[in-house]
Structure 1
Amino acid sequence: MITDSELRAASILIVDDQEANVLLLQRLLADSGYTCVRATRQPAEVCALHRHQPFDLILLDLQMPEMDGFQVMECLKSCLLDDYMPVIVLTAQPGHKLRALQAGARDFISKPFDLLEVRTRIRNMLEVRLLYRHLAHANAVLEATVAERTAELRESEARFRSLAELASDWYWEQDEHGHFTRVSGPVLEMLGISVDPLAGAADPARGDGWNALERQTLRDTIAARQPFLDFTFSRVHPGGAVQRFRVSGEPMFGEACRFVGYRGIGVEITA
C-alpha cells in the first residue's frame, strides 16, 4: 500500500509558460502537503531536468511557444528509465486530450482548473506511479532471489554428485523411458549397456549373461517408480566368470510432480 508520507514526498514538476498557472499549481500542491515540487516556464529544460532527477509526476501544459507539450513528450521518451511516462497534460482544447493520450500522457486536466479535479487527478496519478515503481522493485527482488536460489541448487547438486562419485564406482541418471542421460564412471564399460536401459530385459539370444529374475525384479521396481537401496544383480560371462553389482536409485519428479526418470549410484562387488 502507498502511504500518505510517500505521496507527499513524491517529486513533481510543473511545466507551464504562464506564471499565473505555475503559481496557482504551486499553491495548490503546497496546500495539499506535497513537499518536493519544482517548476519551469522553459519547456526545453524538461528533458534535462528529468534526466538529472526523474520526477514521479510532470504537469505539462500543451500550448507553449517555441516547444509545445507534444514535442516535450517526444523528447521525454528518449530519457525515460522505464516505459512509463509520468505526465498529466494541462489543456483548454478538448481536441488535444485524445492526441495527448495517444502520445503517451497518462491523464489530462482541463483549463480553467477545477481545484478539486486537479487534486484528485494528481493523487490518483501518483498512487498509480508509486505502485508501478513498487511492482518493478518487487519483480527485481524476486528475479534476484530466484537467481540466487538457482545458483544454490546448482552448487548443492554439484556437491551431491561429487560425493556420490567419491562413494561409488559410478553415478547415473535415466530419463522417463529408462535411457541413460548422464553417467559418471565406468558403468557403460562395466555393464556393457551403452544403449540399453538399466532395467531392460536380458536377451538370451545375445548371451549377455544377465540374471533374468534379478533384472525383472529391478524392472518392476522402476516401473512402480519406487526407490531401491543396495539392489544386487549379477552377470555371467561366456567363460564362466561372474560379476556382481549393487545399485541404489530414486525416482525424480519435475514440475507438477511429473515423473522424469531415475538417478542413483552403483558399485561392483565382485569378490
Structure 2
Amino acid sequence: MSFTKLFSIVSLLSVALCASAQSPPANRPTGGSICTTKPFLVETVLPPNLNDNGGTPFPNKTFATYPTYTALSVGVQNYTCGDAGTWAPAGAITYLYDISCLPLEHHKPFTSFIAGLWEAAPPSVTADDIVSWTESMSPGVALGIHYWVADPVNATSGKIFAKWDFGASERMTNDTHKDHAFLVASESSVVPDPFDPVFNSAWLVEPVLVVDGQKSGELADQVFRINSNGGQAPNTTCRPNFDFLQVKSTLDFLFYGGHWADTIF
C-alpha cells in the first residue's frame, strides 16, 4: 500500500472521530478549537516520572484549567555543526493541525502513529504535504506553522525563540484579531523525554515572551510541548560551521490562555 493511501485511511479515521465528537454551536466566535477542550486536564496524561531525570521541572499547575488549542506538530528539528564538531540546535520548522476532537488520552498514541508515517515517508513527502492531505479530508484542521526567530530583545545575542503563527488558519479567516494570532515564547521548563531521551526531543513549558512590558503575541500565554517522537540529533561528529541537519519530529502542543480562550464552548 502506498504512503499516500495509508495516510488517507488515517485521515479518514480522524474525520470519523471528529464527526462523533461534540459539535460547536452555530453562533460560536471564530478563532478557537474545532471541538471543546474543556475536559483536557494535561496532568492526567503526564508521566509520574516526568521530573525525575534532570532538567528544569514542569510546574504543578498549568496557566489555565484547560487549553485553548491542542495541536499535532509535524516537521523537522534543525541542527548546525558547532565548533566542537557536534550538533547544536538551530530551531525547527513544523506544521500544526487541530486534534481537539480526539480525547486527550488518545493524543499520544495518535501522535505516535502519525510519527511512524512521517518517519516512513519518502524524501519527496514534506510535513506540509501531510497537513494538506489531512486538510483535504477534514477542512479546517490546519492551524498554522511553528518556527524560530532571532532574539526580539537583542538581535545580536545569537539566541533564538520559538514562534507559532495561526494568522493564516481557516479558523481565522473572518477574525478581526487574526493579526495577533501568533506567539513568541521563552522556556521555563525543559525535561528529557521520559520514554526515549536519546531519540525524542525534550518536553517543554514555554511562557509568552514579554518585551518592554508587552506580550509577544496573543495566541496564548503558555505552551506545553509533550508527546515527542524523534527530533533529537544523532550522536555523530560533523564538520564545524559547515554541516546542517534536519531531523524529523512529531509531537503535541497545548496552548493556554490568550485572546481566544473565551471561544471554547
Report TM bin, short chain: under 0.3
Pair member with larger Rg: 1
Normalising by structure 1, what TM-score?
0.23
Q: Which has the higher helix share?
A: 1
Q: Which has the higher strand share?
A: 2
Normalising by structure 2, what TM-score?
0.24
Which structure exhibits the higher relative contact order, with contacts defined as CA atoms closer than 8 Å and separated by 6 or more residues? 2
